Amino acid sequence: MERPDSTVPRPEADPPGRIVLTASDISRALRRIAHEIVEHNKGVQDLVVLGIPTRGEALATRIVALLREIEGVDVPVGSLDTTMYRDDLRSQPTRAVGATTIPDSGVDGKVVVLVDDVLYSGRTVRAALDALGDLGRPQAVRLAVLVDRGHRELPIRADHVGKNLPTARSERVSVRLTDPDGVEEVRIATPHGELS
């Protein structure tokens, strides 16, 4: 009898819930967002794209690759960590601070597109706006999200949305991307993993 090789990684079990966006759905949504950004900005001049860690960074990189494909120009891309600007630090003080990387061109006078995976309460975006204000004074700030699930607690809305996904507050939206997760999908589940 052959012994299984313990060094071979076992495939991770699928998380609970149902898939609401497949890899091809995500790809189409990002392409549409990239085209909307070009149309709204009338090109890519003075554009800077900043991803909000973790999955916002991966999405920002992919959007910039699509902008290059559409316009033939490299758009500056970076990341904007919001950890120290969050309003829940008192209740969750053990967050790890991530890296903020701003392109050499900076943000002053630029049109900055913030990119995140899920827009929910709006608090992460508010923290991103505060962090951005400490880095410079953009000409304009726009928001692109893969999923808008509703339930805003602040007067914030996205300019570019891949999918509007009405949810109950008790449901969980899980975005997994090839980089960093090894799989590409968006799932929605109830707190106990039941299908919604």
Closest by alpha carbon to 124, among 156, 76, 149, 150? 156
Q: Which domain holds residue 126?
A: 18-83+105-189
pTM for the whole structure:
0.88
Number of domains in the chain: 1
- What's the CATH code of the domain at 112? 3.40.50.2020
pLDDT values of the chain reduced to their tens digit, one per residue, 196 residues: 444 444 434 345 666 789 999 999 999 999 999 999 999 999 999 999 999 998 999 999 999 999 999 999 999 999 999 998 988 766 766 667 778 999 999 999 999 999 999 999 999 999 999 999 999 999 999 999 999 999 999 999 999 999 999 999 999 999 999 988 899 999 999 876 544 4
- With respect to residue 5, please indicate whether it lies within any of the assigned structural domains: no
Q: How far is CA 160 from CA 32, 178, 186, 191, in A?
A: 9, 22, 17, 28
To 10 degrees, what angle do helices 55-71 and 23-41 make? 60
Residue 160 domain-assigned (yes or no): yes
Structural domain includes residue 92: no
